[in-house]
Amino acid sequence: MHDLFTLTKLLFKANYKIDIHSKKGKQSLLVGFFVFLCILPSLAMFYMFFHSAFSTLNLDLMILQLGFSITGFLVLWIALFMFPSVFYFSNDLNHLLVLPVSPTMIIFAKFIIVYISLFLTSLFVTIPMLAAYIIAGANIVQILAFIIQLPFVTLAPAFIVGIFWIIVFRFIPFFKNKDRFNLITGVISIIIAVGIGAASGLVSGTSVEDPAILLSMLQKNPETLSFLTQLFFNIPFATRAIVNISIIDLALHLVIICITGGLFYLCSKYLYLISATNAKGSVSKRNKKLKTIRQTNPFFSYLKIDFYKLMRTPAYFSNCVLSGLVAPIIMIVVFMAFPEINDAKTALASIEITQFINLPLWLYLGGLIIGFFFGSLNGISATAFSREGKNISFMLYIPFDFSKQLAAKVSLGIFFSVLSCILLLIPVHMFLTYPIYYDIAYLFGTLLASLLVNFLALLIDGIHPKTNWEDETSAIKNNLNVVFEFLASWAIIVVVCAPFFLFNIFNHLIYYTIFVSIIFILIIIIMYIFGPKLILRYLKKGI
């Protein structure tokens, strides 16, 4: 037990310790606080939902099962990605295995670390649910039973996921490649996000704040709830232990946890180590033939290398490239799933829209606004220097003009920003019928906005890059530069759109558009001329 406690403490410090006195610690706290603020509305929504359900419907058992099932899905979702990272792809295993502790201790210490994250995540659902249950008039014994169940509800799914991955990694070598794993899980995350977006579009008219509708859906489709409780087979026992204050159900719940825990122990003892020590980043293909690579212009060579780094690093590909494209894709899917689209399309097809508005102008303006919003989603320019990490000095000692290096970096960001915006033309054309060459105006707008937002992002990251990281994901996650880029884009949108509401300039739209465009072009020119010198000065100071 002493070994387990020591190991757990060590891993906890390595994974969770924040030095609140350091600049990085303060930044992490700030990011955490900001994230908490963003999540508060969701917490409130959960509370309102459960409060309405407990107060109006006398179905405590069903509501608790639903609540714990939501928790189970959340835990399952996070554990699916967290387990491999902690158990197979962390860099500490080789250091831990040489210590005089049993491998089983190492495994359980790592499990505790994963469990802490899962438990804290489950509280986002269970705490609002508990609060609602208390307000709805649960007695003290039921409340105590609820609190006792809190840590146990997430244990069984966590053990099941652990068993799943141990078996997969032991017998399916395909996933042992960390890059391949991260890429596949990144793509799956995107697909699920798109799927949820499409599903929310299909459930039209449903309000999640109205529990009666959701519950009536479940009552009409009891096999849905039955499926959920079969998937999370410990939940019926947990909920009956709370509602019926049943010691037997509590004991059965604990037995289930012991059984799943025991199976996890056996799998980890006999199957884990052999596959964990073989998991690696990339494998050698041993293609022996050295092909001749022709001399290329240094700018294109640099651009190509930057592109390869972006596309070949799963963390960057998922979080920068795919994340920037997922929003337009979700919109496309939602539009296609929207049942009334055909009716709207028919109605709009009969209207000659160019007779009512200056469509090219509005497309240009639309491109501008969309370019600022979607152009800042990918974070490629906002992490251009952060992604270099400790090798940032490479940019300073190679004999290649620094301005050209920046031009190559910003080109990537602009390319993907414009690509996101172009994808949005698909749903636009689904609604509106107009000559396709009008889209050139839209493209000009998106290009101008993408240039400005990406130059700005490059400047932000160049002045204060986050280069001290151990893992590539850390270069982009919790990187405030991405947040600043997004906030800056929104600020520009607000500033551009404010005159429409304050001064009613619709009659002078074209002049206003020209004026704003000239200002943007001037800002871009100033950043292009002075930006490299400013960034270089800050980079040299920081190394």
Residue 281 within binding range of another protein, rule CB under 8 A: yes
Q: Tell me how far, at minimum, the Cβ of 187 lies from another protein, in Å.
A: 18
Q: Tell me how far, at minimum, the Cβ of 403 lies from another protein, in Å.
A: 11
Angle subtended by helix axes 247-267 and 235-243, to nearest 10: 150
**Contact status, residue 417 vs residue 461, Cβ threshold 8 Å:** no
Cβ proximity to another protein: between 175 and 484 the closer is 175
How many chain residues touch another protein (CB under 8 A)?
40
Residue 270 within binding range of another protein, rule CB under 8 A: no
Q: Tell me how far, at minimum, the Cβ of 196 lies from another protein, in Å.
A: 31
Residues β-bridged to residue 141: none
Which of these, 162, 160, 168, 164, lies nearest to 235 by C-alpha position? 160
Q: Which of residues 295-334 bind another protein (CB under 8 A)?
A: 295-298, 301-302, 304-305, 308-309, 312-313
Give the Cα separation of 312 and 183 in Å (integer): 9
Residue 91 within binding range of another protein, rule CB under 8 A: no
Cβ proximity to another protein: between 92 and 179 the closer is 179
Could you give the 3-state DSSP secondary structure of residue 177?
strand
Phi, psi angles (nearest 5°) of residue 224: -65, -50
**Contact status, residue 359 vs residue 401, Cβ threshold 8 Å:** no
Which ranges of 376-476 does DSSP label H, i.e. alpha helix? Answer: 394-397, 402-423, 425-431, 439-463, 472-476
Give the Cα separation of 253 and 278 in Å (integer): 36
Q: Which of residues 151-180 bind another protein (CB under 8 A)?
A: 179
- Say which amino acid occupies 331: M
List 1, 37, 293, 436, residue binding another protein (CB under 8 A):
293
Angle subtended by helix axes 439-463 and 402-423, to nearest 10: 140
Could you give the 3-state DSSP secondary structure of residue 221?
coil
- What is the pattern of x (binds another protein, CB under 8 A) and - over residues 399-428? xxx---------------------------
Q: Tell me how far, at minimum, the Cβ of 293 lies from another protein, in Å.
A: 4
Q: How crowded is residue 292: how many other Cβ atoms within 10 Å of its Cβ?
A: 4
From residue 532, give the alpha-carbon distance in Å to each of 11, 236, 403. 41, 62, 6
List 199, 396, 487, 494, residue binding another protein (CB under 8 A):
396
Q: Tell me how far, at minimum, the Cβ of 541 lies from another protein, in Å.
A: 8
Cβ proximity to another protein: between 312 and 345 the closer is 312
Cβ proximity to another protein: between 269 and 309 the closer is 309
Give the Cα separation of 128 and 468 in Å (integer): 37
Cβ proximity to another protein: between 139 and 282 the closer is 282
Q: Which of residues 374-393 bind another protein (CB under 8 A)?
A: 390-391, 393
Binding site for another protein (CB under 8 A): 179, 280-298, 301-302, 304-305, 308-309, 312-313, 390-391, 393-394, 396-401, 540, 543
